[in-house]
Amino acid sequence: MQSVAFLSLLFIFRSYNQHAHLFISFPINLFIKMTINSIKSSLLLAPLLVLSISALSQDAKPVENKKYLSQPLVKHIYTADPSAHVFNGKIYIYPSHDIEAGVLENDNGDHFDMRDYHILSLDKIGGKVTDHGVALDIKNIPWAGRQLWAPDAAYKNGIYYLYFPVKDKQDIFRIGVATSKSPTGPFKAAANPIKGSLSIDPAVFTDTDGKSYMYFGGIWGGQLQRWRSTSYNLKGEEPKDNEPAMGPRVARLSKNMLEFDEPVEEIKILDKDGKQLLAGDHNRRFFEASWMYKHKGKYYFTYSTGDTHYISYAIGNSPYGPFVYKGIILNPVQGWTNHQSIVDFKDKTYLFYHDTQLSGKTHLRNVKVTELVFNKDGSIQTIDSVQDK
């Protein structure tokens, strides 16, 4: 019996590591629980179990006979969550800076313990990428506690603004803002977070009329489920599967770009029949990674579905929505997370994203870019980041 369990365990973990993309929707906690229960009678297998679970949770090995669509933009540091913008005819990328912090992996994302931001730039797609060094360090944010996650940037009034989520001293995610005269920093952080801000993944969109909006939010480690009421609830949970899914948040920014100019609103994402997506619809519901893009007068709200690993989009007629789900921009990449931005540059549109090609570890990622193509009807051609050789 023990030998059967042993061989089964080896097969399961080997299959998971080699074909992780086929297991992406299977809850890891349930998988581990089932595996432990199946072999709990054998203490001799405990060391193997520990090692195997570590390999399952951390490694994301590519599938054989496949090739990557794009290569990492930089290899000397780990980068993720790329927010790309065009300033003064050049592309600037504002990514997270992944590090090996020695924090155990969990569903709250504690292992994503980033501590500063590096800003990248390039003059042309495929050209040399410059790392401009540390633009903002967590030690220089007066109110910050830990975990400097996915940022974004904007330009107005002759000033560059860097927006960032970080946990405060009470371990609650808030969104802060820092300013600089240069797109590469260094940035000086405001003394306090933006009033009314919460959760993670700020994305700032400036419309053609000059008004700017911030989109933000993320469930699980992003804590959005703890804000289902007007106050923070540590024990807050997601809606039930048959209830409407939680939506991202949006607020118009003030003219000085340092605060909200109105109360925060929840965005609704609808199906083709006009019904709000349900919390149990993991293939389509919002999880994190908001990004707004405008194309031919329509507002494209793009986002990650999180535990099913799609980058999806929904279209609306207003920056506030509602947005109707339309499809998938990017299929699952190597690694658990993904995070996108879309930018127009020299008559083409590009999608920036990340995967784990360099490290094979979900918390040590690398940013990439590929062209984004629209069909005549306004739909977006789905991208596969890993393709057949």
Q: How many Cα neighbours within 13 Å face the side chain of 256?
A: 7
* pLDDT, mean of residues 98-112: 94
* pLDDT, mean of residues 366-377: 98
Q: Band of the pLDDT at 60, cuts 50, 70, 90? A: low
* pLDDT, mean of residues 35-39: 44
Q: Which one of the listed residues 105, 288, 307, 355 is annotated catalytic?
A: 288
pLDDT at residue 279, as a whole number = 98
User: How far apart are the C-alpha atoms of 52 and 56, rounded to whole Å?
Assistant: 6
In this predicted structure, the answer to whether residue 42 has a pLDDT above a threshold of 90 is no
Going from the C-alpha of 194 to that of each of 58, 174, 259, 323, 342, the distances in angstroms are 34, 8, 6, 26, 25
288 catalytic per annotation: yes
* pLDDT, mean of residues 146-162: 98
Query: What tens digit of pLDDT does each residue of 331-353 get?
Result: 999 999 999 999 999 999 999 99
In this predicted structure, the answer to whether residue 11 has a pLDDT above a threshold of 70 is no
In this predicted structure, the answer to whether residue 51 has a pLDDT above a threshold of 90 is no
User: How far apart are the C-alpha atoms of 161 and 214, rounded to whole Å?
Assistant: 12
Two tokens, residue 137: 């360090």
In this predicted structure, the answer to whether residue 53 has a pLDDT above a threshold of 60 is no
Short-list 84, 79, 154, CA closest to 118: 79
More confident position, 34 or 312: 312
- Residues of the chain within CATH 2.115.10.20 domain(s) are 67-388
371 catalytic per annotation: no
What is the DSSP-derived secondary structure letter of residue 59?
B
In this predicted structure, the answer to whether residue 62 has a pLDDT above a threshold of 80 is no
Which H helix or E strand runs over 53?
Answer: helix 46-58
User: How far apart are the C-alpha atoms of 375 and 380, rounded to whole Å?
Assistant: 6
pLDDT at residue 61, as a whole number = 59
pLDDT at residue 205, as a whole number = 98
* pLDDT, mean of residues 68-88: 98
Q: What is the dihedral of CA 86, 358, 137, 105, to 10 degrees?
A: 130
pLDDT at residue 213, as a whole number = 98
Cβ atoms 380, 298 nearer than 8 A: no
Average pLDDT of the chain, as a whole number: 88
In this predicted structure, the answer to whether residue 237 has a pLDDT above a threshold of 90 is yes
pTM score of the predicted model:
0.86
* pLDDT, mean of residues 310-335: 98
* pLDDT, mean of residues 118-126: 98
67-388: CATH architecture: 5 Propeller (2.115)
Q: Which one of the listed residues 81, 98, 105, 152 is annotated catalytic?
A: 81
* pLDDT, mean of residues 9-35: 42
pLDDT at residue 230, as a whole number = 87
Short-list 386, 369, 380, CA closest to 73: 369
pLDDT at residue 223, as a whole number = 98
pLDDT at residue 63, as a whole number = 58
Using DSSP bridges, classify how beta strands 366-372 and 311-316 pair: parallel, antiparallel or unpaired: unpaired
